[in-house]
Structure 1
Amino acid sequence: MHAFRSHTCADLNKSNVGETVRLSGWVHRIRDHGGILFVDLRDHYGITQVLCDPDSPVFSEMEKVRSEWCIRIDGNVKARDEDLVNDKIPTGEIEVFVRDLEVLGDADELPLMVFGDQEYPEETRLKYRFLDLRREQMQQNMTLRSDVVASMRKRMWDKNFREYQTPIITASSPEGARDFLVPSRLHPGKFYALPQAPQQFKQLMMVAGFDKYFQIAPCFRDEDPRADRSPTDFYQLDMEMSFVEQQDVFDTIAPVLAGVFEEFGGDRKVDAPQDWPQIPYAEAALKYGSDKPDLRNPIEMQVVSEHFAGSGFAIFAKLLEQEGTEVRAIPAPTGGSRKFCDRMNKFAQQEGLPGMGYIFWRKQSADTIAQEQGISVKEVNAKIKAGEIVLGEEAAGPLAKNIGPERTEAIRQQLGLGVGDAAFFLGGKPKAFEPVAGRARNVIGEELGLTDKNRFAFAWIVDFPIYEADEETGKIDFEHNPFSMPQGGLDALNGDPLAVKGYQYDLACNGYELVSGAIRNHKPEIMLKAFELAGYDENEVKSRFGALYKAFQYGAPPHGGCAAGVDRIVMLLADQQNIREVMLFPMNQRAEDLMMNAPSEPAAEQLMELNLRVIPQE
């Protein structure tokens, strides 16, 4: 028999009754039933119940065993009584009577329990990650991650892509985040960088004639952490193709991702790739307040400025006199109660706004009609009973009173709302209020039960602007990927930079950006002009992007690609809200590894070797 096990803790069933077996694993739970010890023995694959009573030669040793000790047992497989069968686990029909026991590793008092669903502070979980990872949910998450990556690889190979590895130590490159720099020992005073993405290398591979490339690529960015973003490193399914247009990239990657979500998404619906809408960036910002909209939520915002211009609501009326301002409405079907409207108003205040205007529609009351017609409530009720008056809807809320019934009715008609519905309003310069409006849309969809939780809703976001202007200085800079081909080529760059759109695209799913990519700028003259508009002169371009600039002068093919975030995809499939739940050894919110004690101070000898000196901060 093998030194440690003949079977895993998920293998045994009724067909093994009568066999002598050897199992190794961790003590998941111990129960003492009147002198009979029942132990749930756990390994990576499952749980087997083993039992030990005073007839066992190792009973006294088994009494000393505690939770999370690592043990090996030898024993006989027995069938459980029918009324004791546990149909929730594969081994639920049997149990193993222990004949021999070896403690492979005992355990100190545990800082967190593996058995059960207790919640522990994230700091504790990350410091003792090796214990946290023993928990069933974490084992499932990491197994899912491994399976998803394997599926991605297979699907890419099936599409005639080959996997290539690009360098991990390279030169600094502006990819939209801060680099992690690595000092060079052999070249004092100079630094390498960990790659933010394999962007330049994969483009150079296309110039080198490889045609199709993919990689499960590690990427390194010194970023502020968020629930859906690691502050240090992450993995992406990176791909590039030659002789393609934007739609070719969509047609290649969409079936791969759809297949992964169908394979691992359980019973949640996945829309067919051909049904994934392509939404221009400007339209996404207007309708959803986000370039990564959650389309499970049917709410679409609309511009309603005309109804407030010159109205009795002075705040919006005066606001609209300023250039570049507008008022947008967020429809809230079924949200027509003062209680809900007050709750959303409080949400706006928590977001740093004074509040959020609202109107809600309700059935007309006899009191309102009596006031309008100058008759008594009793007469109104009589007319209602006689069918002479039919109750319609009426608008309520401070805004409705200020702008009057005609404008309020026009808003209702535009938004397609009725009795029991509401609308919320935000105004100003769109870039300033869009993020809050987008979050409000999400909250409204969630609170009113409008968001379909049983679905993965994908959308391509296209036509991204290449440039943006600093509001204070007016300086033009890249808003998105600087390596994108401008729509219209060189001619487009001779006009207004802020009007230039790129062949750049993202794939959004359920409110998260899963994919980002572009058709690349592969012409040196367009590259120089594009960077010139953002303040980079020719010498700086040649210095910072010398390899690409040179390569583009030697027969560069049209090419494009994208990268899909592996961690974020697994997070969605695992139905988790925090990306750290699907990463083996993540950093905490302060970009610290509490388990390995990183970052740490280097030894003096290490600094001397690298010709570095740390200047103490006051």
Structure 2
Amino acid sequence: MAESMQGLHRSHRCTEVSNKNIGETVTVMGWVQKRRNLGSLIFIDLRDRSGLLQLVFDENNGEVFEKAKNLRSEFVIAAEGVVRQRSGAVNENMATGDIEVTVNTLRILSEAETPPFPVEEDANTREELRLKYRYLDLRKPHLQRNLKMRSDITTFIRKFMSNEGFIEIETPTLCKSTPEGARDYLVPSRVHPGCFYALPQSPQLYKQLLMCSGFDRYIQIAKCYRDEDLRADRQPEFTQVDMELSFVDVDDVIDVNERLLKALFKEILDVDVQLPIQRMTWIEAMNRYGSDKPDTRFGMELIDVTDVVKGCGFGVFTGAIENGGSVRGLNVKGQGAMPRKKIDKLVDSAKGNGAKGLAYIAMHEDGTIKSSFAKFMTDEEMDNLIKAMDGQPGDLLVFAADKNKIVWNVLGALRLELAEQLDLIDKSKFNFLWVVEFPQFEWSDEQNRFLAMHHPFTMPMDEDLDYIESDPGRVRAKAYDIVLNGSEIGGGSVRIHQADVQERMLKALGFTTEAAHEQFGFLLDAFKYGVPPHAGLAYGLDRLVMHMTGEDNIREVIAFPKVKDASCLMTEAPTAVDAKQLEELSIETIDVEEEK
């Protein structure tokens, strides 16, 4: 039978009790982690968000002792007692391992059924079960630590940015749909039948309007939404640390963010981030690492051998070059004896990332080589290729040949896969990198037109403005991403603030004047009334916290995450709604199977 607290007031959280309190009477409250009945004594590990504390019940305190016999895992209790030195061995693994509380008053505040899995740190529980009973999962110490750190991170960012003159302003979450980019989540309007709001993919347009309004420096911890396929580091709803600054250029934005990162990592993790953070152009990152978010904690960089194999006897190489592509390779040091089965797996992996295949040279320690294409090459051509790859006995050389985009993608992914397999990554490192000078446009074969690589409001580099119409593929953007350990944790750009440049940009992206004003008219109109040069950046807070907590999945740093199909296993959202609700919204649903 559950009781009330009956006048008891919590004096301490579990780990706030220490040997300094020995002899004092304390009141603690929490969940029963474990019960051990030794006959004349009962020991309880009490858990709250701070950690564990051992409670002792003595048979000499008859009524309390009898009540303690009924305690089970996850019962919620209040206990008052005297702090003592531990009667048994000290537990070095507990913050309170040298003390215990001898209980003289016990209240059972809530009873509990046997949970569907152990509420313990390293319990091996299926993720589906964890997420279905997320409120139990969240009792686990590592998740409580993660969410506490997340809170500490956002609190620190707010304080730091406030001291830098940023004003926190909330922007709307019911917005106009702008279909450029990822798919919007739509919200039907009851008052305007047939019309829809969109949930924001970012506060981009609003924060630019705030710069037009003279707020100078804006920040927001903003909820954002994208209706897209999910991965380990993606969720349909996510949180951004969003900022915008006026009267600035690239260096100004990078400066304030480098100082923020240095202060944040020192405060939260006691890690020293060395400034300035290295900068690398997009094209250098792609050529060296096959990625615009390279993991620089290990080497194994891509090597361009296009000029070396030009005109060789291997048609796969020469065909790729003739079609405007390239041939690049990786030198996997010390793996020349890799079994054929493992090499075949690498080939399959490369095909999964868009390659038609993967060529290789396995260099054995005795000087012999085994290659998938040696029969098509002369000895001199092979020697030149091995020399260009700095191949030594014992090395495995792998090659991809295709359009640059495919070659980068294939070898960039293979580089990461091999690094994991061969344990090349120092997981204790925090390697930051700015990737700058992204392409302004990227070509879409699907839509047969150029798309904005970031968004249509990104400023081209001054020296590339003349190429917007004549050679869009050559235009570089004043865009920058901040990368940590191979993951983009934030990105931004200088924005276009001149109306004529903005019109040229929208035209290059295929917008007619009418279409541009239909989608972005409110922004273009605002630009008529004096707009300052401005730039911004947004961090993915979930991803940043994931790295800082050392987790591999952002679900471990979000209180109530969704699964891969964007559903919530705990609440079973999304669900069908009442026909009356749909009628009020002037919406009729279609049975998909019936439609087929």
TM-score range, shorter chain: over 0.9
The CA distance in 2 between the partners of 1:296 and 1:406, in whole Å, is: 35
1:236 corresponds to which letter in structure 2? Q
1:520 corresponds to which letter in structure 2? R
| TM-superposition CA deviations, 1:534-556 (whole Å, max 9, x none) | 11101111111011101111111
The CA distance in 2 between the partners of 1:127 and 1:428, in whole Å, is: 45
1:563 corresponds to which letter in structure 2? A
Instruction: Confirm whether residue 592 of structure 1 aligns to residue 593 of structure 2.
Output: no
Counterpart of 2:178 in structure 1 is 173
Counterpart of 2:363 in structure 1 is 361
User: RMSD across aligned C-alpha pairs, in angstroms?
Assistant: 2.1
Task: Please give the residue correspondences for 1:426-437 in structure 2 after superposition, counting only pairs within 5 Å.
Answer: 426-437=400-411
Counterpart of 2:262 in structure 1 is 258
| TM-superposition CA deviations, 1:305-348 (whole Å, max 9, x none) | 2333333434323443x321211011222333233x75244123
The CA distance in 2 between the partners of 1:252 and 1:116, in whole Å, is: 38
Unaligned runs of 5+ in 1: 365-392
Q: What is the TM-score when the length of structure 2 is the normalising length? A: 0.93
The CA distance in 2 between the partners of 1:394 and 1:406, in whole Å, is: 15
Instruction: Confirm whether residue 466 of structure 1 aligns to residue 471 of structure 2.
Output: no
CA 1:351–1:29: 2 relative to 1, 3 Å:
farther
| TM-superposition CA deviations, 1:502-561 (whole Å, max 9, x none) | 111111111111111010011122111111121110111111101110111111111101
Instruction: Confirm whether residue 220 of structure 1 aligns to residue 221 of structure 2.
Output: no
Q: Is the 8 A contact 2:121 2:142 kept in 1?
A: no
Counterpart of 1:160 in structure 2 is 165
CA 1:36–1:311: 2 relative to 1, 3 Å:
same
Moved more, 404-413 or 512-521: 404-413
User: Structure with the greater relative contact order (CA < 8 A, sep ≥ 6): 1 or 2?
Assistant: 1
The CA distance in 2 between the partners of 1:140 and 1:516, in whole Å, is: 27
Q: Is the 8 A contact 1:468 1:479 kept in 2?
A: yes
The CA distance in 2 between the partners of 1:31 and 1:43, in whole Å, is: 18
Deviation at 1:563, TM superposition (A): 0.3
Flag the structure with larger Rg: 1
Q: Is the 8 A contact 2:13 2:29 kept in 1?
A: yes
Counterpart of 2:86 in structure 1 is 80
The CA distance in 2 between the partners of 1:504 and 1:144, in whole Å, is: 30
1:50 to 38, 44, 55: 55
1:461 corresponds to which letter in structure 2? V
The CA distance in 2 between the partners of 1:242 and 1:134, in whole Å, is: 44
Deviation at 1:109, TM superposition (A): 2.0
Give the SS at the match of 1:100: strand
| TM-superposition CA deviations, 1:282-304 (whole Å, max 9, x none) | 22222211111101121210211
The CA distance in 2 between the partners of 1:312 and 1:337, in whole Å, is: 26
Deviation at 1:473, TM superposition (A): 6.2
Counterpart of 1:525 in structure 2 is 500
CA 1:155–1:122: 2 relative to 1, 3 Å:
same
Q: Is the 8 A contact 2:327 2:401 kept in 1?
A: yes
Deviation at 1:61, TM superposition (A): 1.5
Give the SS at the match of 1:494: helix
Moved more, 235-244 or 252-261: 252-261
Counterpart of 1:550 in structure 2 is 525
Task: Please give the residue correspondences for 1:375-524 in structure 2 after superposition, counting only pairs within 5 Å.
Answer: 395-400=369-374, 402-471=376-445, 474-488=448-462, 490-524=465-499
1:358 corresponds to which letter in structure 2? Y
Q: Is the 8 A contact 2:327 2:407 kept in 1?
A: no
Deviation at 1:266, TM superposition (A): 5.5
The CA distance in 2 between the partners of 1:561 and 1:166, in whole Å, is: 15
CA 1:338–1:88: 2 relative to 1, 3 Å:
closer
Instruction: Confirm whether residue 196 of structure 1 aligns to residue 209 of structure 2.
Output: no
1:614 corresponds to which letter in structure 2? T
| TM-superposition CA deviations, 1:357-400 (whole Å, max 9, x none) | 22243444xxxxxxxxxxxxxxxxxxxxxxxxxxxx55443445
Q: Is the 8 A contact 1:301 1:329 kept in 2?
A: yes
Deviation at 1:256, TM superposition (A): 0.8
Deviation at 1:569, TM superposition (A): 0.4
The CA distance in 1 between the partners of 2:290 and 2:184, in whole Å, is: 29
CA 1:470–1:78: 2 relative to 1, 3 Å:
closer
Task: Please give the residue correspondences for 1:96-175 in structure 2 after superposition, counting only pairs within 5 Å.
Answer: 96-174=101-179
Give the SS at the match of 1:407: helix
Give the SS at the match of 1:455: coil
Moved more, 460-469 or 565-574: 460-469
Aligned length: 583
Task: Please give the residue correspondences for 1:13-92 in structure 2 after superposition, counting only pairs within 5 Å.
Answer: 13-57=18-62, 58-81=64-87, 84-92=89-97
Q: Is the 8 A contact 2:12 2:28 kept in 1?
A: yes
